[in-house]
Amino acid sequence: MVKEFAVSRKLNRRTFLGQLGGVTAASLVAGFAGVPSSRRLNPTVADAAEMAPTAVQDRRWQAYNLRQDAAMTHSGQPFPSFPTNGDEDCYPTKLANYTKGLPHNQLGEVEPTAYAALVKAVETGRPADFEALPLGGRVKLANPLAAYAFELEGYDPHQLEMSAPPAFKSAEMASEMIELYWQALTRDVPFAEYDTHPLTNAAVADLVKCSDFRGPKVSGVVTPATLFRASTPGDLTGPYLSQFLWLDVYHGTMTLAQRNRVPVAKDDYMMAYPEWLNIQRGLPPAWVNVLDPTPRYLRNGRDIGEYVHRDFTYQAYLNACLILLAMNAPLKANMPYRRSLTQGGFITFGPPQVLDCVGRVANAALKAAWCHKWLVHRRLRPEAFAGRVHNHLTSAARYPIHAEVFNSAAIGAIFHATGSYLLPMAYPEGCPTHPVYPAGHAAIAGACTTVLKAFFSESFVIANPVVASADGLSLVPYKGTDLTVGGELNKLAANIALARNTAGVHWRSDGIEELKLGEAVAIGILTDLRATCPEPFTGFSFTKFDGSTTTI
């Protein structure tokens, strides 16, 4: 199924000028009046360097042309399609869609009128319709109007396509649920023990049986070395976590050791049905995470899950950039100042520009994610799917869940550990109050790491790599295959994306597909940035998450 948006995103030049308004348009025309036509059509950087009034007028015209060319280029892109998995139309009770925060019955199913009101608000985009939504509790929905926000640099959020997520009753969805059960059960297993621990080996054996598991494999088989990882270039090389989550970060005169306040072992929530139901209805949690008083280096799933619980949007990538700058990691060989005899990059092609770009793409990526979350997919969260599993197995209801979920070893292991079939959540509040697909953390990860790969040499080998001890109290030297900047940036993106799965709030496909969406956002912004550079430059080149190389 393909969804269409009613709002047109295309403006031709005449419409654009008309919408400037009388005063602004008149000022614009007056500003160009003294510029010879030849120079209006063919302005040069050299002309703009003159500070005479005519040169200022030239510069204004150049800036206008740059903005118009970028806008026309993006508006001229083919109109995107928005395929869905069809679940919203398939199930009248909306059992396969996001409904958290709305009124629910005792089965955790949304009240039909409440969901209809949500769909109406989404279709109209009117703030008043969102304000009129009935809520089941006191927890508010997370910024649905952001789905309509424009982005004036790079692609507009409504121009970017995504594939449809797995359908509710599919074997792929079943495999993702089985993986999530195992990620919850293994939260306290150190990454360093994945090869030998009984729980991770049980997870491997169970996932091998899944008929449509899309995680990485070796010779077609899931192994402890591929468990809970992505398949981006370099992601399967070396330790589970990226070096950028362990190495010291240099903030000016301060050195930040990446030791984190993390929850104690077995600090899980929403395993009792009444608690689960209250959270679905939008009631605030009755508990808070119990934190370990000793800060630790990230060493297991619970730790990295808490990292993505408390981080600010582009924290991990700002840190990565600062680490790269401190280790004097080289920029790409084609960067303009790599071979200059008289100049060095700074505001352009230097640290300030890289740092700016890392932060700049983050919110643009979130806008793209919110467009798909609210306007297209409205896919349900894992905690809600687990509620369907629980009600099905306790005979409270019947749902079209793929049999592989019920036949998995994960089901028995979860019931033995918790006494229910609900998904143990790392956060007392469970998932955020916005739809699951795609993942916002993964969107930012895809965008920010793409920027870093575009600037820094991906083949540069990281000196003196480390790995956290099993207790997280120290870092020890890593002895193994060389770890490159490109590989560790890809791994960082995957770590952050899939850490939300470890916490129980996202599916594998949410993160993997959203890395690609974030990458597309960064490509659009880098395309616009490329046009503003006065230096001779052959373009930004980097390795995409699918392994191909692109140049902007």
Active-site residue, from 74, 390, 441, 506:
441
Q: What is the DSSP string of 145-186?
A: GGGG---SSSS-GGG---PPPPPTTSHHHHHHHHHHHHHHHT
H, E, C per residue of 400-416: CCCHHHHCCHHHHHHHH
Q: Is the separation of the CB atoms in 265 and 188 below 8 Å?
A: yes
The DSSP 8-state label assigned to residue 285 in this structure reads: P
Alpha helices in 373-439 (DSSP H): 382-393, 403-406, 409-418
If you ran DSSP here, which 8-state letter would residue 296 be given? E
Answer yes or no: are the C-beta atoms of 119 and 132 closer than 8 Å.
Answer: no
Instruction: Please report, for residues 237, 254, 434, 487, 513, the alpha-carbon distance to residue 543 in angstroms, rounded to integers and kept in the order given.
Output: 16, 32, 31, 10, 16
Cα–Cα distance, 340 to 476 (Å, whole number): 39
Q: Which of 74, 390, 434, 506 is catalytic?
A: 434
| Cα 539 to Cα 156, 220, 269, 550, distances in angstroms | 22, 37, 49, 10
| Active site (annotated) includes residue 402 | no
In terms of Cβ atoms closer than 10 Å to its own Cβ (0-12, 13-18, 19+), residue 223 is middle
Instruction: Tell me the residue length of the chain.
Output: 552
Count of alpha carbons within 13 Å of 499, Cβ hemisphere only? 30
Known catalytic residue at 441? yes
Q: Which has the closest alpha carbon to 160: 516, 546, 531, 526?
A: 516
Supply the DSSP symbol for 7.
S
Kindly list the catalytic residues. Answer: 434, 441
